[in-house]
Structure 1
């Protein structure tokens, strides 16, 4: 190999190494504290937001700290101190201790979570996205012992299936059908929990006694087995998502715009490699400006009908501006082709069809 080629390879390797190093570097937030005392109600995300521009990178902030083998073992009263290890910022913990053999204070509430689980716990048990044809084949609620069309806690309902006595089941009502906006493929049907209960009598038409209800159960609802994941504690280790061409399918509340700590459905799921803890950056399509006959950029609010046609179908006079960053979301529940995410940061409102991409250092505070 000649000398010029060796120099070229060396430069490429140095550039590649530098790129990895920059991608792995934490950026501290301007005005960050040097210490912080954990209080009740804190989350790991909230604490990291005091130190980092991108709080979803909190595992990196604590990764090199031998005193925090499990970052979930941080308690109210612990004092966190910012130090530098090999030039990188790290948090170390100094647990609050009593001057007695009791040792470390263990508050009644326990260790602080990654995110506020109260925000997502209802969705872990209440919302699912399932195959529409499969849902239509599940046992159907026919009615109940009560003459009412709607059934609530302690009512007995009739279900068109032979189900084993004692089986725990849940009734769901049909929600929206989600489809891919490009391929028009059906991604799944949203189903919403109405009630849960146990089978009290088995037969061609089984009886189920409702033990808890979130909304009225009515004829036509379908009965599904209780999800195991709905009974498990949620644990999330945020990491950058590695999925292309994702976007916001819809808001959980089915309203036009949502913001921080709201829930959205996204267009990718288990089949695409999405996992709980994946973090996406949210962007809105940049505006297209049209250069008018005088050579002046014409924004959409001032555009003529002709200008709108030029912007829509493209022309030499139409220029697309960069996409606009709107925030970050973290996936907390995944289905085959759809996932649910919690908006953790939003600088601007989030809407259906907003683009999702691999998050990068934003240089924004994102409180």
Structure 2
């Protein structure tokens, strides 16, 4: 069964009238326990398809569940979710009708995810000392940096404070991809010398010490829209935020795919594993079986050759070293 789903969804507004004329859909009513994942597997025999249903149906706010009573139109190559009927409202005096526009599917991140600082990436500066030679600093404390007028800095400039956790090696090639870092807080420069400055910590998430490095301030809380795949990509989960090997929904991971490979914030990838065929029961040698889909994740930030992602779906435990795939054709 041919599936040119991304093209069909992209031009849905143009193709729907023609499709309706050629094929009458089956109408299915959602019952408790139904999921997009399950519907895609049940009716299209394709568990990969559920993110496309989610991304292209604005009435579906939660990626994992739809609501009992909703109706879906099932075609041979796609599933369309009908808008859920609104609950009847008490009668009131006639007034001007207000319409709320449906919102696009988005993800919110708070900036605590961290990232990989890749080889060759240089920080803006470092915290070189704390006020009164303290060991740790927090909100409203004074620190000193090696950023000064020579770097073009000005009083009032803001920076984010990070700490390096350790090197990250690729689980397959063992190549060092970079250093895992976590955010510690934010500071603002107050007084400048030629090659140094005094600053005040305006916000701290963890204790700050000398040696922490600085990057220009960026808004931490972001809303990221889900983006359709525009290419095929294959990579790996190379590290986890917490260091845990076993992962589940909402856990943060790091991938070996970045801007250089065409990865974008908002892209969704599937977490897959190979299935080893049992040759004992085969009449001929089987080289390969369809992969097992164990979950899905969404990229929330990208570096040049790495990215940060959040697991949004899992049907089995996810591990560091698991393979991820993004498919344009699905």
Same fold (TM over 0.5): yes
Partner of 1:351: 319
Q: Paired residue for 2:137? A: 151
Equivalent residue for 2:207, pick from 212, 216, 219: 216
Q: Which has the higher contact order (CA 8 A, sep 6+)?
A: 2
Q: CA deviation at 1:285?
A: 4.0
- The C-alpha deviation readout for 1:199-238, integer Å capped at 9, x for no partner, is 111113211101110001101111111125x35x413224
Where do 1:210-249 residues align within 5 Å?
210-228=201-219, 230=220, 233-240=222-229, 242-249=231-238
Question: Which has the greater radius of gyration?
Answer: 1
Aligned partner of 1:15 in structure 2 is none
Q: Which residue of 2 aligns with 1:171?
A: 161
Alpha-carbon distance in structure 1 between the residues aligned to 2:317 and 2:137: 38
| 1:134 corresponds to 2:89 | no
**CA spacing shift, 1:254–1:181, aligned 2, 3 Å:** closer
Answer whether contact 1:80 1:91 (CA < 8 A) is retained. Answer: no
* Higher mean displacement: 240-249 or 250-259: 240-249
More helix per residue: 1
Check whether the contact 1:173–1:191 (CA below 8 A) recurs between aligned residues: yes
User: Post-superposition shift, 1:111?
Assistant: 6.8
* Partner SS for 1:134: coil
Question: What is the distance in 1 between the residues matched to 2:168 and 2:324?
Answer: 17
C-alpha contact 1:279 1:359 (8 A) present in aligned 2? no
Aligned 1:94-113 pairs, distance under 5 A: 94=85, 99=92, 100-101=94-95, 103-104=97-98
Gaps of 5+ in 1: 1-17, 37-45, 63-67, 73-77, 298-316, 363-367
1:326 paired with 2:294, answer yes
Change (3 A) 1:79 1:105: farther
> Is the alpha carbon distance of 1:141 and 1:360 closer, same or farther for their aligned partners in structure 2, counting shifts above 3 Å?
closer
Task: Give the whole-Å Cα distance in 2 for the aligned partners of 1:337 and 1:263.
Answer: 17
- Rounded Cα–Cα distance in structure 2 between residues aligned with 1:172 and 1:341: 19
How far 1:178 sits from its partner (Å)? 3.0
Distance 2:40 2:289 in 1: 29
TM-score normalized by the length of structure 2: 0.70
Q: Unaligned regions of 5+ residues in structure 2, if any?
A: 10-26, 42-48, 62-66
